[in-house]
């Protein structure tokens, strides 16, 4: 019933072992890869979040350590056009917080490469375009014209 593609498995293993950091493959999954606009925006927003976390209204020199607190995740997601629910935010924060629980520690901060992985794994696959919303509303309006009302479940 099942077959295993061993070539794909071997390629996956080879790809993950050629890099010192296995999270390096994630930026390539974004549109345009590391040179694309999404990754550039993501990186800029991440750096700004570091500044926000270190109090942006100061004249003192800042030492940025490459990490942001997990409380910044919702702001970053919204800046990138994904507006998660409170439950989704909690799930993302818990995913980071408990990622090292086997070592008996909680993570309260994350690095850029970890955020890229989080963004790719949690954002919607396809954005909602105006045409998509219009088409769905047309279906709803046309269906409602056939009847005098729609039930809550149908809506």
Would you say residue 35 lies in a domain? yes
Domain that holds residue 15: 6-126
Task: Please give the pLDDT value at position 133.
Answer: 79
Task: Please give the pLDDT value at position 67.
Answer: 93
Would you say residue 83 lies in a domain? yes
The answer to whether the CB of 155 falls within 8 A of the CB of 140 is yes
Q: Please give the average pLDDT of every successive group of 10 residues along the chain, which has 155 residues.
A: 79 63 80 90 93 77 86 94 93 92 86 93 77 79 65 69
Identify the helix (H) or strand (E) that includes residue 111: strand 109-111
Count of structural domains within the chain? 1
**The CATH number of the domain where 96 resides is what?**
1.10.238.10
Would you say residue 133 lies in a domain? no
Task: Please give the pLDDT value at position 84.
Answer: 92
Q: What is the DSSP string of 41-107?
A: HHHHHHHHHHHHHT-SS--SPP---SEEEGGGHHHHHHHTT----HHHHHHHHHHHHTTTGGGT---
Task: Please give the pLDDT value at position 138.
Answer: 80
Task: Please give the pLDDT value at position 153.
Answer: 73
């Amino acid at each position: 019933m099942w077959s295993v593609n061993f070539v794909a498995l071997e390629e996956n293993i080879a790809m993950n072992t050629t890099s010192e950091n296995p999270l390096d493959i994630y930026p390539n999954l974004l549109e345009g890869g590391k040179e694309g606009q999404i990754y550039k925006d993501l990186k800029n927003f991440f750096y700004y979040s570091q500044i926000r976390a270190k109090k942006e209204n100061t004249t003192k020199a800042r030492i940025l350590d490459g990490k942001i607190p997990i409380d910044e995740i919702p702001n970053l997601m919204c800046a990138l056009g994904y507006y998660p629910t409170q439950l989704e935010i909690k799930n993302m924060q818990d995913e980071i917080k408990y990622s090292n629980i086997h070592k008996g520690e909680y993570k309260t901060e994350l690095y850029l490469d970890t955020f890229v992985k989080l963004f790719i794994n949690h954002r919607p696959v396809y954005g909602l375009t105006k045409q998509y919303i219009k088409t769905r509303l047309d279906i709803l309006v046309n269906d409602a014209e056939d009847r005098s009302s729609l039930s809550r479940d149908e809506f």
